[in-house]
Structure 1
Amino acid sequence: MTPRERPGPGPVNGSAKGSGTAEKLIEATRELLWDRGYVGTSPKAIQQRAGAGQGSMYHHFDGKPDLARTAVRRSAEAMRATAAADLGGEGSAYERVRGYLLRERAVLRGCRVGGLAQDPDIVAEPALREPLEETFAWLRGRLAEVLEEGRASGEFDGALDPPGTAAAIVAVVQGGYVLARAAGDPAPFRQAVEGLLGLLDARTRP
């Protein structure tokens, strides 16, 4: 589990997929998709990582595509839960956005959901792509809501564009992961975030 990443929901639809073995298979698939992508995540690798046999895997899931769909949705839900906690906490709008941007991240591993969105085999399959699309849409929307709260209260000046700024925040975070991974150093991510916060500071009323 990465720093401050909250676990996903419990049993999947309250079915047998909520069993201990099923959960191990889901978590193993989440990790392998993050590390290796869809093509590199073989059923054998999933079973080995989960410590489960082939029979157990096919008892709970129809196969790799079914398991991957569950794992992708679980990763999307976990990202949403973490962001919701950051943005729904106490403090001003600026403080909550700042908290979201500065929270501890495994920067050099990249964003789990952002990485999935860059996998051509995942984005080519609607059932795998949709949870990612929904999560990023939700994140932009939630950030826009927080920024609009700040504008309405007078914390930010009236020229702030909440939807556009929210999209820019998501883009900077995702781009920061790419820059950091390319450099093999978290510094470019921090620099991008600090630059973004500087732009937000300029929109904050004294």
Structure 2
Amino acid sequence: MATQDRLIESTQELLWERGYVGTSPKAIQQRAGVGQGSMYHHFAGKPDLAAAALRRSAAQMRALAERQLGGPGTAYERIEAYLLREREVLRGCRIGRMAQDPEVVADPELRAPVEETFAWLRGRIAEVIAEGTVAGELRPGPDPADTATAIVAVLQGGYVLARAAGSEEPFRQAVRGALGLLAALVRD
């Protein structure tokens, strides 16, 4: 793996584990197995590297979500597949955790991939709901954008509840609840 990729990947992991403030350049270098010179050869500094790492995490999250949301099945089945996919629940969401980091939300460049990813996800889920309504799979209900935002909020809140409890069960309950609400729109 190229040095630049090792630096980005190491930063992705450290941001997920420790947040922005807890991720020092020295920790990044140690995890990547590179020296200070290599880091500053590829990146202007920690903010530049963190922005690259956040953009990559965002792209990976979108690609992973699209596998389910753009896959086969009804609108309900695709959203269900997205919500039920394998996750490291107790680690939280790579992108969602960054929305809780004061340094990230205060910096427009660092916040941009977080904001864009959630906007994309809400929009993509809204598209699936609208497709399902047009196809007659789902009854007309609340605005698809509102429903999509509620689904994303439930998912992110489920991560928070699970981490607070030290158990995946609150996350699973949140997902079951969201699916139950969405199931009410499924036509018989």
Q: Same fold (TM over 0.5)?
A: yes
> Mean Cα displacement is larger for which, 183-192 or 54-63?
54-63
> 2:153, 2:112 → 1: CA distance?
19
1:16 maps to which residue? none
How many pairs were matched up? 188
| CA-CA distance at 1:161 after TM superposition | 2.3
Paired position in structure 1 for 2:153: 171
Unaligned runs of 5+ in 2: none
**1:63 aligned to which of 25, 45, 59:** 45
In structure 1, which of residues 117, 136, 150 is the aligned counterpart of residue 99 of structure 2?
Answer: 117
Which ranges of structure 1 fall in alignment gaps of 5 or more residues? 1-18
RMSD (Å) for aligned C-alpha atoms: 0.9
Task: Report how far residue 203 of structure 1 moved.
Answer: 1.1
CA distance in 1 between counterparts of 2:142 and 2:185 reads 7
- 1:21 partnered with 2:12: no
Q: Secondary structure at the match of 1:40?
A: coil
Post-superposition shift, 1:41?
0.7
Q: Cα offset for 1:159? A: 2.4
Distance 1:151 1:133 in 2: 27
Aligned to 1:78: 60
TM-score (norm 1): 0.89
- The TM-score with structure 2 as length reference comes to 0.98
Hey, what's the Cα distance between the residues in 2 that align with 1:147 and 1:205?
13
Counting only pairs closer than 5 Å after superposition, residues 1-206 of structure 1 correspond to structure 2 as 20-206=2-188
Structure 1 distance, partners of 2:93, 2:128, is 22
What do residues 88-139 of structure 1 show as CA deviations (whole Å, max 9, x unaligned)?
Answer: 0011111000000000000000000000111000000000001111110010
CA deviation string 1:158-191 (max 9, x = no partner): 2242111100110000000000000000000001
Identity %: 69
